[in-house]
Structure 1
Amino acid sequence: MSQQPLHADPLSWGHGPRTFEVFLEPTCPFSVRAFNKLDALLNEVGEEKVTIKIRLQSQPWHMFSGVIVRCILAASTLPEGKAAARSVLKAVADHREEFEFTDHCSGPNMDTTPQQIIERIEKYSGVKLAAAFARPELQTEIKWHSKYARQNGIHVSPTFMVNGLVQADLGSGDDIGVWAQRILA
């Protein structure tokens, strides 16, 4: 029996004409801070005025970054789509230390395997994603996120784009009112 073609649900919320793209590395503390502000931003600006898009920016100094990004995108291919992916992002954000090395090179995660990372994500998120993770064609979606970031000159997380233009002066520490003002300008 052949599998259905793989479809990843876009990680976007809202349906407005303005776009706010956020490039996140799931275990980066600054990306976590930005991610945790997105619901409030959507409420402040309004779903009819903005489309918020999460782009995943895997970074090699976050040692499990590639595995975690693949988990998020695998979740987006499940029937719950972007809601499942958001649950995985939230689980990683809420338990960041269990997915990151101390000082990027040491600590309790030194003996952790990719399989254990998947199991932790499933436990914290409630999303069963191991089978989707194992689908080779998921690589196409992963490469798309990476290529899209490179094409836009994105190298670090979080990075923000408004209507297709990088906003180098926006950061995760900004109040959402600053973000909203930039989106609506």
Structure 2
Amino acid sequence: MTESITPAPAWKADPLTWGHGPRVFEMFLEPTCPFSVRAFGKIDALLEEAGSDRITVKIRLQSQPWHMYSGVVVRCILAASTLPAGREAAKAVMAAVAAHREEFEFTRHCGGPNMDATPNDIIARVERYSDIELRAAFANPELDREIKWHAKYARQNGIHVSPTFMIDGLVDPKVGSGDEVSAWAALLR
């Protein structure tokens, strides 16, 4: 009898995870949403205050259709996670998008200068601001598998908008992006 061996994929998406503690804080973020950007900006401070040996922070990407280039930007982030720098490259892409958020968003979700932007323009902006070459990784059709995993995981947990936060597998509606880092840390002690 011959065994069928499925080859491992030539690429792997690095999990968007920081810290290694037993308490798990999952952040469902849409990278061009101003509230998600505010939450994203608190990750390092949270890890420092709560202790990276006591908590694990996981970013789950939550693409949302009213943020018109959401799908393109999410794919850029996940493409970066497949590069040699993995999660740190993905974090750099998220930080670049956060720092220039309005260049990846429509005015009032339906107008403005981005009406003339193409997906190639958006990718070029991400590459320019992050200084990370993404085009080849972005073009990998198998990357769909990772994108679909993020979408499916959110739906399975009843999450439809960003930012949404889960602590140890339970959605906590009282947690918000406007909370102080100390309030998040207190919930994770």
Find the structure with the greater CA-based Rg.
2
Q: Does 1:143 align with 2:148?
A: yes
Aligned to 2:34: 29
**Root-mean-square deviation over aligned CA pairs:** 1.0
- Identify the residue that residue 158 of structure 1 maps to in structure 2: 163
Q: CA deviation at 1:6?
A: 2.0
Identity %: 69
Match of 1:39 in 2: 44
* Equivalent residues, number: 182
- For 1:125, the aligned partner's letter is S
Alignment partner, residue 105 of structure 1: 110
Residue of structure 2 equivalent to 1:128: 133
Please point out which of 166, 169, 172 is paired with 2:174: 169
Give 1:121's aligned amino acid: V
Question: What runs of 5+ residues in structure 1 fail to find an aligned partner?
Answer: none
Task: Verify the 8 A CA contact 1:6 1:137 in the aligned structure 2.
Answer: no
Distance 2:188 2:165 in 1: 11
Question: Which whole-Å CA distance do the structure 1 matches of 2:45 and 2:167 have between them?
Answer: 17
- Distance across 2 between alignment mates of 1:88 and 1:69: 10
Counterpart secondary structure, 2:188:
helix
Q: Which runs of 5+ in 2 are unaligned?
A: 1-8
In the superposition, the TM-score normalised over structure 2's length comes to: 0.95
TM-score by length of 1: 0.97
Partner amino acid, structure 2, of 1:126? D
CA-CA distance at 1:89 after TM superposition: 0.1
**C-alpha separation in 1, matches of 2:92 and 2:118:** 22
